[in-house]
Structure 1
Amino acid sequence: MRVVTDGRAGIENQALGLAEAIARLAPAEIDVRRVAWREPFDGLPARAKRLSMLALGADALDPGCDLWIGCGRASLPLSIRAKRQAAGPFVVQVQDPRLPPKLFDMVVAPAHDRLDGDNVLEIIGSPHRVTPERLAEAASAFARRIDPLPRPRIAAMIGGRSKAFDLTAAHAGRLGRRIADAVAAAQGSLMLTYSRRTPEAARAAMSAVLAETPGWIWDGEGENPLFAFLSAADHILVTEDSANMATEAASTGKPVHLLPMVPLRRAPKFERLRTSLSEAGAARPFAEPLQTWTYVPLDETRRAAVAALEAYRARR
């Protein structure tokens, strides 16, 4: 089974999450390939690109692959080419490709994108790599640092600037104060991680406000404790800019509190995602004091894996 992406963590983890879920159902080796396109060809439409334009990953189409999982814009030309190969692999494209779904054998797309097609499977959010086993493993690895933290433990996953949202230093400071107040009111502790997209000024402003809050703000050094935070948390706070983070949090069965960002434009897709998470009982807007509730953990990655494996076997 081949996974083809540009290597960015947010993209690759979606494809790897689906591949790993399939491999848990039908054991298989996962072959990860990362590709990049040379300038100025990177901006060309997917169907206009040729293999000669590749900067990295020209071997991504070599024989020996039965199931192909692509994710992200860089993978699209290769996924389309793989689909056209005689006796080629079964091609699954993750995310909305913004191309006709018929160019692929199957498309696994977020329901909030509203993509239509007979071969389209809509899921809430995105595939991911969070599993109970992986969370337990991470919890054990970081137990010495996390176990002494008082409960309730509040995990916070902070994103950053995107096309629809921003995280300014001023807003980060205000948000940090609200988080500090919520932790203090609960008499608990904080476990916080920033994403690669978090602006440095916002990171500094929030960290300064939270400096006296009991807990652990990960500084980016060493192994990422995110999965350990998710395992140990009693509450999970997630900024509203990331479908990936929200979906990962909702897979734990723990209350997910959505933190507001600075809107740059109206974002109907994120509004639909918030509605889906709310209807599933997983997420509510962040409010103080923190409320506790229960729900059935989302398992959309496994649902997508089952559907992909069934479609693959049917074609074979």
Structure 2
Amino acid sequence: MSGWHENAAMQAAPTLMAATQAIADGQAAPVTARVLCTDLAGLRSQALGLAEAAGFRTDFRVIAPKRPWTLFSPMLWPDPRCAIDAAALAPPEGDLMLGAGGAAARVLATLRRPDLPAVIIQHPRMDTGRFDAVVVAKHDGLTGPNVIVTRTALHRVTPERLALERALWAPHFAGLPRPLVAVLVGGSNGRYRLDTAAARTLAEQLAGMMDRDRVGLMLTPSRRTEPAARAILDEALRPRGAWIWDMQGENPYFGMLAVADAIVVTGDSVSMVSEAVATDAPVMIARLPGKSTRIGAFMDDMVACGRARNFDGRLQTWATAALNDTPMAAAELRRMLGV
């Protein structure tokens, strides 16, 4: 272990060492992580995914900024403890803090103590030395002695979860033709657009695949999918026999990942593509109009390494294997923290 890692483990020590010793003594005392992030699905999935993979007990808290601080970047908050709803900071503290995103970085950097380590996911946009561990994706371009670099975003997709979801959802989708394609649809995000024009293009491509390749199709929109875009997809695909989630009842997202023979996912979301490539199914990325250097680099890397291909309106199948760096990141995090 390097000198920095030794020092970090010692500074993080009191509560973590106590939990570790309790486990060694046969006591049921898992490490408890207070998980902090704003209420965004991608951030929540990454933070909980890492904590669960590391074997931590989780205490999830939402970072909810108060007015007027909702109008400002978290980096401009003079004291984040006064800028967010107090429920996120209420006892118990747990053994460590684990957060994701810019707001969490600002909060964790302020609250961190020698006996309360801080772990941040995504580039914190501040000195990485203010954290005990920083977990970033390759496309963030960040390195350092306390930095863990992954090829994909962190998430909660595991072989065990896929097996459970397959058993639950396979009967529901049993009537759809095979091969069965899962379509994961995101939405406009300030960098990419899924407006009516883009939705029409995607709908035409998916309809063409159903007609020419005789595939079954199941589609789930996200909260970011605009109603007009959903209507366009529904009008083009449902008459062809596609199953489309109506955003009511139990979310079929993980069940669709589990039963799919192939997956089409819109290229606006690193998290959705990362979850898709964690399965064994071939993944096709439906690129959207717009540009993001970081997101675009990730999508290009997935294509370059052969784990994904660009969607061209036809079913593509090829030999694939699951790509999931969450277990690696969790193991490295435990090593860094000495637990």
Q: Same fold (TM over 0.5)?
A: yes
Q: Aligned equivalents of 2:85 and 2:74: distance in 1?
A: 16
Deviations 1:49-87 (A, max 9, x none): 242332242535x4552232101233223211232x242
- Structure 2 residue 97 is the aligned partner of structure 1 residue 72: no
Give the RMSD, CA atoms, in angstroms: 1.7
Residue 2 of structure 1: how far off its partner (Å): 1.8
Residue 31 of structure 1: how far off its partner (Å): 1.2
Helix, strand or coil at the partner of 1:144: coil
Q: Is the 8 A contact 1:250 1:298 kept in 2?
A: yes
Match of 1:41 in 2: 69
Q: Which amino acid aligns with 1:166?
A: R
Q: How does 1:146-165 map to 2 (within 5 A)?
A: 146-165=173-192
- Structure 2 residue 287 is the aligned partner of structure 1 residue 275: no
1:235 pairs, out of 243, 256, 262, with 262
Match of 1:174 in 2: 201
Helix, strand or coil at the partner of 2:60: strand
More strand by share: 1
Q: Is the 8 A contact 1:41 1:49 kept in 2?
A: no
Q: Is the 8 A contact 2:303 2:310 kept in 1?
A: no
Structure 2 unaligned runs (5+)?
1-32
- Structure 2 residue 333 is the aligned partner of structure 1 residue 308: yes
Q: How does 1:21-100 map to 2 (within 5 A)?
A: 21-23=53-55, 28-42=56-70, 43-46=72-75, 48-60=78-90, 62=91, 64-83=93-112, 85-88=113-116, 90-100=117-127
TM-score (norm 1): 0.91
Q: Aligned equivalents of 1:260 and 1:134: distance in 2?
A: 28
Larger Rg: 2
Deviations 1:104-125 (A, max 9, x none): 1111111112123321112123
Q: Is the 8 A contact 1:36 1:74 kept in 2?
A: no
Helix, strand or coil at the partner of 1:172: helix
TM-score (norm 2): 0.85
Q: Aligned equivalents of 1:184 and 1:56: distance in 2?
A: 54
Identical aligned residues as a percent: 36
Residue 190 of structure 1: how far off its partner (Å): 0.4
Q: Aligned equivalents of 1:112 and 1:156: distance in 2?
A: 25
Query: How has the CA–CA distance of structure 1 residues 253 and 281 changed in structure 2, closer, same or farther, with 3 Å as cutoff?
Result: farther
Q: Which amino acid aligns with 2:306?
A: G
Structure 1 unaligned runs (5+)?
none
Residue 99 of structure 1: how far off its partner (Å): 1.5
Q: Is the 8 A contact 2:136 2:150 kept in 1?
A: yes
Q: How does 1:176-215 map to 2 (within 5 A)?
A: 176-215=203-242
Residue 39 of structure 1: how far off its partner (Å): 1.0
